[in-house]
Amino acid sequence: MKNQTMISSVLLMSLSDDQKTIHVLFIFFLLIYLMTVFSNFLILLLVVTCAHLHTPMYFFLGNLAFLDMSYSSVTAPKMLHDLITQHWSMSLPDCTAQVFFVMYFAGSEAFLLSSMSYDRYVAICRPLHYSQLMSWEMCTYILALVWSSAFPVPIICILCLRRLTFCGPDLIQNFFCDLPHLLQISCTDPTINVLAEAPVRL
């Protein structure tokens, strides 16, 4: 067995080495992130405060806005911090946490979009029964199903990730931690992890 140096942190790929370009990228991504958070927060606020928006469609839209804010906040602040400090490293536990939340929010968003399409289907094809089929109890049940259904796959992937050892190279070819890139720097056979991740890629 070869001697292998275990790593405790990973090095994310820098977006640029030029100082002027870094400042331009920082301002550009900061504006995009702030617009994303502000617009989604505004949607969420309107859905909560305006009584005439208390319908299933806007109920799901408000949750989609919250998910979009959450998903963006998992990666953007760290990237903005790294652009300013030029410190593109992340500890393995932080990297694993980022992988979990990226997978969880992406999965939740996919399930929520499916629920929204079902809501529109009922509204168009069963308009007379819409209020019965999409009652507040049903909407709450669907939302609980959305949030809980997205949980198993990321938690299984993270549990499988804990069995791996990482010995370098420690460079991840991305500006945030993603499971496929993390598996590439593992010195343990990642076959089980790839199989666990398969439902996400379908």
Whole-structure pTM value: 0.83
* Overall average pLDDT of the 76-103 stretch: 88
Specify the CATH superfamily of domain 9-201: Rhodopsin 7-helix transmembrane proteins (1.20.1070.10)
- The domain limits of the chain are 9-201
Please write the tens of the pLDDT for every residue from 152-202: 989 988 888 887 777 767 778 788 888 888 888 787 776 776 666 655 555
For residue 53, with 0-12 CB atoms within 10 Å meaning exposed, 13-18 middle and 19 or more buried, which class applies? middle
Per-residue pLDDT, 3: 47
Please write the tens of the pLDDT for every residue from 125-160: 988 988 888 999 999 999 999 999 999 989 988 888
Distance of CA 4 to the CA centre of its chain: 32
Which of 108, 103, 21 has its CA nearest to residue 66?
Answer: 108
Which of 2, 3, 22, 9 has its CA nearest to residue 171?
Answer: 9
Count of CA atoms in the C-beta half-sphere (13 A) of 11: 8
